Amino acid sequence: MINTVRRFLLLVALSVIGLAGFYFFKTLDTSISIGNMKIKVMEEGIDVEIENFMITHENKGVKEWELKADLAQIDNQRDLTTMKNVEMTLHKAGSKQYVITGDSGVYRKATEDVSLNGHVKLVGPAEGLKQRLSITSKSNN
């Protein structure tokens, strides 16, 4: 009888210690800081939240575009990265580049599609845009 009570009390004590350990590790800060980038693992829906987010796309060692955001929330299940305060730089031949900014945006990794919303602004040399627009308008006639 005494051994049964001892085993029961030992089981209760181990259960309390296990439960306390579970809650301790669950409430730990799950963020990692790497240089000026901060990564935080999220609970539901969003897998990771990254501050000072940046992606660079290169083709054969040549930088084609860069995507930066103050905050990015990555949802791997839906293959979506939702961003705030977005800046996309498109590098063209020579020293020409276009900078597109927006209040928010969405990036799909599989298709490399980027859509920007809210106060979208394009800054860059006008020559390339004029040529592109004139070609597009002639083909629409």
Q: Which sequence spans correspond to the domains of the chain?
A: 31-140
Which residues does residue 57 pair with via DSSP β-bridges, in sequence order?
A: 65
70-118: per-residue pLDDT in tens? 888 888 777 788 889 989 888 876 667 888 889 998 888 788 788 888 8
Return the CATH class of domain 31-140: mainly beta
How many residues appear in the chain? 141
Tokens of 17: 């210690």
Q: Is the pTM of this model over 0.75?
A: no
Nearest to 81 by CA among 57, 56, 37, 46: 46
